[in-house]
Structure 1
């Protein structure tokens, strides 16, 4: 998106008065709570199915609706960032999140809970791009790796502890308490942010192009909905899935053509002229597809093939998430000193190696092996995500920061939906193929063996992604940003 302020005007907006640490802390607190509640509810799906008397595919809408809202709103966040001040957007995102959390806590029916999840997603869709854009504005390039690492800690640690903490809550309390516990923390984050948050940009209020917004909504929304729906029911043979993805692709093509022709586009696609941004974006997409496909496969494997409880499964996956979060600031410091190339190369080697390890799992695989592989995978992810993202955004001029953060956040959501759908479809088709070759398909053991075989084959998809990412990482170059840019 074309921002009307020039680099000179940016420099006139003296940012020396900004209290950097309190501003970042405000985002860290708000982001942690928001992302915690996002994954915490996943562990309660069985409770919700029983409580509301709904089908599994209906319950899945709590996730699909959340992703769909993000897919629709995050692309236009670049426009929103230029219409409102930092404080206005931060406070609005927290108030919206609080309203959504309160609605979820008191939800008497599934419909109310679904609406609450959509409201929560609106808050998250406002907060995440604002957080990244603000950091790019107030943190000097030579320190961005370390700060992005702290943000990475929040982004990975919160979803990692969400299932475990919700498992503890569900052992003695109802699912409503997942939201009741989050609510006062969100209110505290709002009060803290109202006191410390400062404006770091001046709104330029560019013209709103309704056609672009409609095309963006149909494009990203159609793709996210289509791929999310492919992971349930009839899968890829479902006409709704095919039509949604087709509408999404056509709309995105029309959207892109319109942005290229517009003098002041809603989303400035010239960011793709910067090679390290484009390369970093592709590697972020690959990493997100790998990690999110693994995060849906491993809990299913642990609970089905190894017959573990949801709480036990959450505990086994907790160390990897915690270590990933703790390593993010460390990787940020290494990025600031040495650049991204070798961090990302080693990261993809580790990720690909662990995916090979997961293809060897059986019904007798030990929990220690799964924990170890998961830890190594998350170490690899910490070496890829933050360096690739920060290096890519560093190459953009200031006026393209809103567009770069909007595109990166959007495609992370889209790639997550695609990775999850492909993994589930491979699992399903491989399981059916296995069952077609057994003499006693009604035998529960054969069904478990078929499921395990499906999980193993789905990890082959992750291996392919890892190899592609590894190959691309050799072309990565450090972006040197001049002081003041």
Structure 2
């Protein structure tokens, strides 16, 4: 077909191709939506007459859908054209946004959020797969840095944007504001979008789809129950999820013999990609630890409003995003190790600083530690994503990006469950001994940050094992499938 790009373009001096710019813009919109509901829980409780536990499902359902859908995107992105994937993903997101905006009941709102999440789950793997296909290896760092700018700034702006919108209207405005932006991005994108490569005709193994949904979804849901009165039930879901995921893995290994897996695990044969996954997992755990604990600390113990909290943590997210293009250029010039090793050390230092959190810690110190954490993560993520995916064989890009996306969801859920469990366990223990609730919460937060710091130490070890440049050719070490 005439609008299909079949060959990688010549070096562009780090300029971001139009197709990647369009996907970045769309991804920014859908990721912004992921965090925009954080401040809306009290309004939902009042408007739809639900409990706080029920209202939290607007986030939980979104997270579960992402965890269940992302493992299928490797197959999906090989099966359809770039334009079709973009249209289906943004179309689902728009439909979900409309349903959520007009939802008469909480159940309908949940359905809308699930539809939104289905579209969101496709966008980041589509973006990464397209970037790796159309951008020459020598320019990928800078272009990936531009991508990181968008996907880092979006979640940082989410709570602040929602706080501002909720000052002037109801929670429905959060969807009403996003809807025309998403529609314009979709229409403009479809007018300019080109197809990258040819789709591969293959059948889908529905048993694998069910296993992925139950395995990944059950595991993430179980983690979300930790720290509540249902921790025992959470352990059950986690164990069941891991067991089903194991069956899913064996199923994929069997299907790989006929080159028809839902998620091709041959990407895990690439050593650099495995190290990148480890660094990504711990990095997301560290980021989620701060994202969960800092708002609790600032609002419950320091008395700040959600909007004030959003403004305090926003500079870290903005700094992380704005540094992305610079980090990308440095990676293209010097390689990964000069960036990732200092980034890993900086992350450990920042988390160690948060272990000294107190009821009187100056706000400038909290701000400084958070900015240091975000800048350190920026120094890690852009090189790690680029280097890890760069060593994956080209025909497995979509599967590599799917595994990376699924790992982010699992690491985020695990990080949240870990710190919340530590916090609630410590608070319960100390309050039973007669310790004031505020002092008990501070103690729990310190211990949670100590555990996160210890885990983060492993990133330094992994960073030291990371090669400076891709170690395989674009064809990689894994044989291409035969179709």
TM-score range (shorter-chain normalised) is over 0.9
How far apart in 1 are the matches of 2:9 and 2:143?
17
How far apart in 2 are the matches of 1:370 and 1:51?
34
- What is the CA distance between 1:303 and its match in structure 2? 0.2
What is the match of residue 479 of structure 2? none
How far apart in 1 are the matches of 2:283 and 2:215?
22
- Work out whether residues 226 and 242 of structure 1, in 8 Å CA contact, stay in contact via their aligned partners in 2: yes
1:181 aligns to 2:177 (yes or no)? yes
1:245 aligns to 2:241 (yes or no)? no
- What is the CA distance between 1:291 and its match in structure 2? 0.3
- Work out whether residues 15 and 200 of structure 1, in 8 Å CA contact, stay in contact via their aligned partners in 2: no
1:236 aligns to 2:226 (yes or no)? no
How far apart in 2 are the matches of 1:342 and 1:366?
32
Match of 2:248 among 242, 255, 280: 255
Match of 2:444 among 454, 457, 479: 454
Query: Which region of structure 1 is more displaced relative to structure 2, 283-292 or 361-370?
Result: 361-370
What is the match of residue 97 of structure 1? 93
Instruction: Write out per-residue CA displacement over residues 313-339 of structure 1, whole angstroms, 9 at most, x where no aligned residue.
Output: 111001111101101111111111111
- Work out whether residues 156 and 318 of structure 2, in 8 Å CA contact, stay in contact via their aligned partners in 1: yes
How far apart in 2 are the matches of 1:368 and 1:207?
56
How far apart in 2 are the matches of 1:235 and 1:469?
32
Count of residues in Structure 1 that have an aligned counterpart in Structure 2: 466
TM-score by length of 2: 0.93
The correspondence of residues 22-61 of structure 1 with structure 2, limited to 5 A, is 22-61=18-57
- What is the CA distance between 1:365 and its match in structure 2? 1.4
How far apart in 2 are the matches of 1:213 and 1:349?
39
How far apart in 1 are the matches of 2:362 and 2:43?
28
1:358 aligns to 2:359 (yes or no)? no
For residues 369 and 213 of structure 1, do their structure 2 counterparts lie closer, same or farther at Cα, with a shift above 3 Å needed? same
- What is the CA distance between 1:235 and its match in structure 2? 4.4
How far apart in 2 are the matches of 1:82 and 1:196?
21
What is the match of residue 383 of structure 1? 379
How far apart in 2 are the matches of 1:484 and 1:370?
43
- Work out whether residues 222 and 248 of structure 1, in 8 Å CA contact, stay in contact via their aligned partners in 2: yes
- Work out whether residues 390 and 474 of structure 2, in 8 Å CA contact, stay in contact via their aligned partners in 1: no
What is the match of residue 3 of structure 1? none
1:316 aligns to 2:312 (yes or no)? yes
- Work out whether residues 141 and 481 of structure 1, in 8 Å CA contact, stay in contact via their aligned partners in 2: no
Give secondary structure in 2 for the equivalent of 1:116: helix
The correspondence of residues 261-300 of structure 1 with structure 2, limited to 5 A, is 261-262=254-255, 263=257, 264=259, 265-300=261-296
Give secondary structure in 2 for the equivalent of 1:82: helix
For residues 302 and 213 of structure 1, do their structure 2 counterparts lie closer, same or farther at Cα, with a shift above 3 Å needed? same
- What is the CA distance between 1:481 and its match in structure 2? 6.7
Query: Which region of structure 1 is more displaced relative to structure 2, 179-188 or 48-57?
Result: 48-57
What is the match of residue 138 of structure 2? 142
TM-score by length of 1: 0.93
- Work out whether residues 336 and 469 of structure 2, in 8 Å CA contact, stay in contact via their aligned partners in 1: no
What is the match of residue 7 of structure 1? none
- What is the CA distance between 1:398 and its match in structure 2? 0.6
How far apart in 1 are the matches of 2:135 and 2:474?
10
- Work out whether residues 317 and 374 of structure 1, in 8 Å CA contact, stay in contact via their aligned partners in 2: yes
For residues 51 and 419 of structure 1, do their structure 2 counterparts lie closer, same or farther at Cα, with a shift above 3 Å needed? same
- Work out whether residues 20 and 138 of structure 1, in 8 Å CA contact, stay in contact via their aligned partners in 2: no
- What is the CA distance between 1:53 and its match in structure 2? 2.2
- Work out whether residues 324 and 378 of structure 1, in 8 Å CA contact, stay in contact via their aligned partners in 2: yes
- Work out whether residues 140 and 484 of structure 1, in 8 Å CA contact, stay in contact via their aligned partners in 2: no
How far apart in 2 are the matches of 1:359 and 1:67?
28
Match of 2:6 among 13, 24, 28: 13
For residues 482 and 215 of structure 1, do their structure 2 counterparts lie closer, same or farther at Cα, with a shift above 3 Å needed? closer
What is the match of residue 476 of structure 1? 466
- What is the CA distance between 1:15 and its match in structure 2? 4.5
How far apart in 2 are the matches of 1:482 and 1:212?
30
- What is the CA distance between 1:271 and its match in structure 2? 1.1
The correspondence of residues 356-435 of structure 1 with structure 2, limited to 5 A, is 356-435=352-431
How far apart in 2 are the matches of 1:167 and 1:473?
38
